[in-house]
Amino acid sequence: MIVREIQAKSILSPSKIYDYAVNPYTGCQHACSYCYARFMRRFTGHKEPWGDFVDAKINAPDLLILEIRKKKPGKVWVSGVCDPYQPLERRFELTRSCLRILVDNGWPVVVQTRGPLVVRDVDILKGAKNTEVGLTIGTADDAMRRLFEPQAPPISARLRALEELHKAGITTFVMIAPLLPGAERLAGLLANKADHVLIDRMNYAYGTWVYRKHGLEAKLDEDYFRQTAAQLAEELEASGIATRVI
Ligand code: SF4
């Protein structure tokens, strides 16, 4: 793992999903097989495989303070092309510092992560207005998680984090995205932990080799996605969790 401390030129980027995105890191230790963010290698000159490098933007908080003074307030997605709570965040605390700045200045924030480390920042999140935290959980089956996301935290740890955040009164959501084999049992596991759920097929292009290697091609079928998503949506709605299939 190559870890560099870098000086970024800017931190508050325009986003197609929300108004802005803040990515305190370039690169991601979770190295998910299907990760679309690996395109970042092209823009940063990294030759290492995705997951083998992380650039920590150590001036991210300083830049953010300057940029929020100049830009029109809007909803900020933390992160988009990295996991803001990947293990290195424990050491650098860049996400924590950026979150503190955004919340203290009243900017609405959507955090999205696979990292239970997000629970560390409950003290900031609890007092935040218009802020929600999403855990990405694509399957209920940890054996499948190990095939597709071997470096990412176990499903049980993500569920515990989600529950803890929810109990603390923070608005929580789950991204079942990409929906992976073994997602069928997720509805029962999310009850009383999430306020809403998004289900998305997303882009399987990078991860198709995992399906082929493990004889899971049938789970790539559009019918599998549609049927599983519809069943999950029905069960989640029945337990009072608003659900959207994208
Ligand atoms: S956690 Fe997100 S950014 Fe990191 S490798 Fe997985 S999909 Fe990509």
User: How far is the centre of ligand 1, averaged over its atoms, from the C-alpha of 86 (Å)?
Assistant: 9
Of ligand 1's listed atoms, the one at least distance from the Cα of 31 is 5
pLDDT in tens, 18-43: 999 999 999 999 999 999 888 888 88
- Ligand 1 environment, Cβ below 6 A: 28, 30-32, 35, 37, 82-83, 114, 152
What is the C-alpha separation between 140 and 12, in angstroms, rounded?
34
User: How far is the centre of ligand 1, averaged over its atoms, from the C-alpha of 233 (Å)?
Assistant: 24
Of ligand 1's listed atoms, the one at least distance from the Cα of 50 is 5
pLDDT in tens, 31-83: 999 998 888 888 888 889 999 999 999 999 999 999 999 999 999 999 999 99
Sequence-distant (6+) residues with CB within 8 A of 72 are none
Catalogue all structural domains in the chain, each as residue range(s) with its CATH number.
2-245 (3.80.30.30)
Sequence-distant (6+) residues with CB within 8 A of 223 are none
Whole-model pTM: value is 0.96
Of ligand 1's listed atoms, the one at least distance from the Cα of 51 is 5
